[in-house]
Structure 1
Amino acid sequence: MRILVTGGAGFIGSRYVRGVLGGEYPGAADAQVTVLDAFTYAGRPENLDPYRGDPRLRVIHGRVEDPEAVDRAMRGQDAVVHFAAESHVDRSIADGAAFVRTNVQGTQTLAEAAHRHGVGVFVHVSTDETYGSLATGSADEDHPLRPNSPYAASKAASDLVALACHRTHGLDVRVTRCTNNYGPYQFPEKIVPLFVTRLLEGRSVPLYGDGLNIRDWLHVDDHCRGVQLVLEHGRAGEVYNIGGGTGLTNLALTERLLGLFGAGPERIEYVEDRKGHDRRYALDWSKIRDELGYRPRWDLAEGLAATTRWYAENRSWWEPLRSAPADTVGAS
């Protein structure tokens, strides 16, 4: 199998690539991987270092909205796993145009190229934020899309673009929507790596508003396993929610991280809330559980402890990133 992985040098994409090449997914045991990545601030070449020089890995530097780069990467592929996206809500509030270019135009460019080249399966990786904030209950795959941030709106649009290519052209498109990811190699602008790295430096952590916004947490390993299940066994034209099974407030998450450092609430700095900050996300992911046998393997407490250890042991990876303009509040 030949798999094109867009955004394959980013946090989630690189974890997926390492999983494929590391033999973690039996259905991709013979896979050759082409990574298409723009290598912006969050796409790090070193995320692929374990397989640098591996003949099964080909890396192309290019943007998903660039038809020439996409056409070059798409030739001969059997499947596409489309992770590439602008994904930080704060950045989308500051510059929504970049999110439309990458997330919407990029998906359109990729889907049309996949159809043109006769690619077998196109997995489009999306987010629970497309459903918007839920006061009660949980969103299944048929829940209306009600995005509130420019980021979420661009992802909802990209989902529809991909699914339209299935309905119009017959491309086998499968969409996944996941909850909040965490784990090693996550750029320190999101809440878990931002707070962990600040605590490692002896600093306070900036928490939006009252800290009572609710999110469900999913270890990146579990997310990538879910994506692979959809690639191998999902159905064309279907959407699959991928959840972690642990919903809690940002304040409760912060308290867990503080506890790993033996720190207390005095290290919390409450800051002005984000514009339009969604109060609560909640996914019903029974479909992927019942149809494909998905279960998250990581317990949140164990996952946060392991993630904290990784950042403590890999300061050389994240300390140079402090010079990037991303040391901001990291809620999602």
Structure 2
Amino acid sequence: MRGTASPERVVVLALDGVYPFELGIPARILGAADGRYEVLTCTVDGGPVRTNADFTITVDHGPEALATADTVVIAPISPAVVTDELPDEVTAALARIPGRARIVSICTGAFVLAAAGLLDGRKATTHWQLADRFRGMYPHIDLDPDVLFVDDGRVLTSAGAASGVDVCLHVVRTDHGSELANTVARRCVVPPFRDGGQAQYIEQPVPESGAASTAATRAWALERLDEPLALSDLAEHARMSRRTFARRFNDEVGLSPGRWLIQQRVTRARHLLESSDLPVDRIAAEVGFATGASLRQHLHASIGVSPQAYRRTFQKAR
């Protein structure tokens, strides 16, 4: 949890071949967070950079801005210009990043971090289409191509394109809580939290015509998280066999029904810990965990802290 006395400085690094859509995501999302962040954009020499589209962009800042950053975002570049050896000016620019700063990459930005050695010993992700290439270049890095983003403490990596929105909302949520993150999402007309991972976007056979969706059942389940929902309950609501439901659910969401339910329960528990004074055991019952111990286990597995520690963080902020 970061302080709110002054805006956190976020510096976005634009490299040659940058994707303009993703380059604008940090300013759009973090800039909607009630003045909590100041977003600057820089290049390695302060000069213009060519995008992967048919235009060049100019910025107001050079690499010296990186030395002032609380958070650095590496915007993605065209795969055509990705190499395992960084140009000297890029290496020099990255060396300016303070050791205390949080570092976030979007899509192919993970290749830049990997080439700089910033992902050594860490878990990471990138666009699923580039997973084999990434593993071939950096076999020592623990790559998870099925998720939208990975939070590995100081370093966060995200998948392709719109997952930059997901990771920036996660930054707001981590720093300032779910209420502000949800407000930002509403202002930007994006979902505050996308179900599942990028596995659901991987190319796969088109489902048979008229195939039923699990969306209605997911909405039904979200209204009943306090109940002990089993796979058979979900399948019955969807009027499918358990096997068909589980397969279709995974195809649509990228998670098994069980993992998705845990994810939703943890998300709801975090909101209650932030916004209420309910005892941990009561919150566990409200979100469908059998005991407070079960909530503690799942919350720690998800974000690495206990319910009490999580609540203290946001109570101090309030």
Bin the TM-score by the shorter chain. Answer: 0.3 to 0.5
1 or 2, which has the higher strand percentage? 1
* Structure possessing the higher relative contact order (Cα contacts under 8 Å, 6 or more residues apart): 1
What's the TM-score once normalised by structure 1's chain length? 0.35
Higher radius of gyration, 1 or 2: 2
